[in-house]
Amino acid sequence: MKKRTATTSLTWLALASVSLAAPAFADEDAALVVNGEIEMVTETEAPAHLDGALSTIRSGWTFRTSETQALQMDDFDNPAMVFVDQAAEAWNTADGSEGKSCASCHEGAETMTGLRASMPKWNEAAGEVWTMEMYINDCREKRMGAEPWGWKAQPMLNMTALIGAQSRGLPMNVAIDGPVQETWEKGKEIYYTRYGQLELSCANCHEDNYDNYIRADHLSQGQTNGFPVYRLKQANLIAVHNRFKGCIRDTMAETYSEGSPEFVALELYVASRGNGLTVETPAVRN
């Protein structure tokens, strides 16, 4: 009889906990329309660059309970909007040695419309792929003379939610070729690499086993078009790099840090997997 190694046994136990029960909680016929006017695409044909790994892509909204779905359909019910309101106030508040606010250069937050749909993207001046957080801190340090915000700091979470919300309903269209291609390929490699004592990759859960349950969690495709998202279990906004850390820790592995080149690459690749879905920021998840 073939013997299992300790690592193989752990992997087997992890996958054995995946239930094949049909998704019973989400309303399969529900349509996501926010405030009765912003229509969202929550399922569409998969991007060609997935090479048939998925036939269709689905928003994380389609995997949530009807109660959680409802919270995202009206801004008065969406618990994330209080943080968006805080960011709107910060947008107009001067900070730093230059006495400038975001509005000093960009006028209203609505001038950011369309930005979230293309993020992360290539920054020609920096010669690398930048995330929203990197652009925000660059403005704070170079234009405002202010201290940079931490990636998990509440003001940063709030501001990325405000900026992202300006693009709600617009299709994700993240570039994967040209100068970003090398970073995209690195992100793809990370996505399919098995990590930790459980030897699990992102794809094992979000490509191979989506729509199944692992313990009480209904596995989604891991789409990021709604980040930062409000997680009910944490009662706060959560950034995508924070979520990456949590997933990798669940494999019993050492994880990368927020803002690391590895997570920037992974964010680019995962965001591109959602090309064609619409921006939902700030989404509501369990």
Strands 284-285 and 229-231: parallel
Does 106 show up as a binding residue in the annotation?
Answer: yes
Question: What does the alpha-carbon distance between residue 142 and residue 239 come to, in Å, rounded to a whole number?
Answer: 24
Rounded to 5°, angle at Cα 165 from 162 and 166 = 100
**Cβ-contact 174, 121 below 8 angstroms:** yes
Question: Which residue from 107, 65, 62 is spatially nearest to 220, judged by alpha carbons?
Answer: 62
Strands 38-39 and 33-34: antiparallel
Question: What does the alpha-carbon distance between residue 57 and residue 221 come to, in Å, rounded to a whole number?
Answer: 7
Tokens of 20: 């094949």
Q: Which of 247, 252, 260, 276 is catalytic?
A: 247
Does 140 show up as a binding residue in the annotation?
Answer: no
Does 231 show up as a binding residue in the annotation?
Answer: no
Residue 239 backbone class (left: φ over 0; alpha: ψ -120 to 50; beta: rest): beta
Does 205 show up as a binding residue in the annotation?
Answer: yes
For residue 161, indicate whether it is catalytic: no
Does 139 show up as a binding residue in the annotation?
Answer: yes
Does 168 show up as a binding residue in the annotation?
Answer: no
* Residue stretches of the annotated binding site for substrate: 243
Binding site, by residue number, is 102, 105-106, 139, 202, 205-206, 243, 247
Q: Give the residue numbers annotated as catalytic, written as ranges.
A: 247
